Amino acid sequence: MTETPTEEEEEHIAPDELFLTAELLHESIQDAFNGYGVMLPDRQYITWGGRGDSVHDCEQLTISIEQVYTGMPGEQANTPQPCFGTNTVAFSVELVRCIPTPTGKGGGRPPEAEKITEMARTQSRDAMILLEGGMNAIQAQDFLPGTGGGGVADVAPSPPQGGYQAIILTIIMPVYAGPTKTVGV
């Protein structure tokens, strides 16, 4: 006979922690941008894999789960880990915005210098807010006692693609992976 979990138990089943961490990261980034009054694109989603493979044909924010491994950030399978230790997840967060492009017949006229500079200001702001939102997600995560939390993050641009360019936050953070609760077995 199977025991039906309560609503509270369903929210805390260990296998869901990975996706819940992605949602936490997404919400933290949204909160950081809202805090500065900076608009994010309407199109936003969480996916698996694809750093740099996300099609840049519109402005969008994507949270991509790239890798999961045992151990703390930076210990990628270098040290044997306890069975119920910490798992770590690597995310790529891409904020894609429209950029100035050449105009005129055959794209013969380069964008105005002022537009390029203004876009650099926008992208610089986006980079710092993405970083802040990511670090806030790390601080908000409920870590195993003794792990100390922490994480690794960097921000870099993608190459321009069809009039769009992504600012990419790569963030590596621990995820709790302790004993799981068996549901429906």
| pLDDT tens digits along 97-143 | 999 998 877 768 889 999 999 999 999 999 999 999 999 988 876 55
Cβ atoms 166, 56 nearer than 8 A: yes
Total domains, the chain = 1
Task: Give the pLDDT confidence score for residue 84 in this predicted structure.
Answer: 64
Question: 38 pLDDT exceeds 80?
Answer: yes
- Whether 120 is in a domain gets the answer yes
For residue 15, what is the DSSP state?
G
How far does CA 155 lie from the centroid of its chain?
11
**Of the candidate ranges 24-33, 34-43, 44-53, 72-81, the one whose mean pLDDT is the lowest:** 72-81
Prediction pTM value: 0.81
- Mean pLDDT in residue range 177-183: 44
Q: CB-based contacts of 18: which residues, under 8 Å, 6+ apart? A: 65, 68, 89, 175
- Whether 107 is in a domain gets the answer yes
Q: What pLDDT band is residue 2 in, cutting at 50, 70 and 90?
A: very low
- Whether 181 is in a domain gets the answer no
Task: Give the pLDDT confidence score for residue 119 in this predicted structure.
Answer: 96
The label of the residue with tokens 């005129």 reads 104
Candidate ranges 85-99, 124-138, 143-157; pick with highest mean pLDDT: 124-138
d(CA 10, CA 125): 38
| Cα Rg, the chain, nearest whole Å | 20
- Whether 182 is in a domain gets the answer no
- Whether 184 is in a domain gets the answer no
Percent share of the chain, pLDDT over 70: 72
Q: What is the edge-to-edge ordering of all strands in the sheet holding 44-48?
A: 44-48, 60-70, 86-98, 164-176, 152-157
Residue 93: give the domain boundaries.
7-176
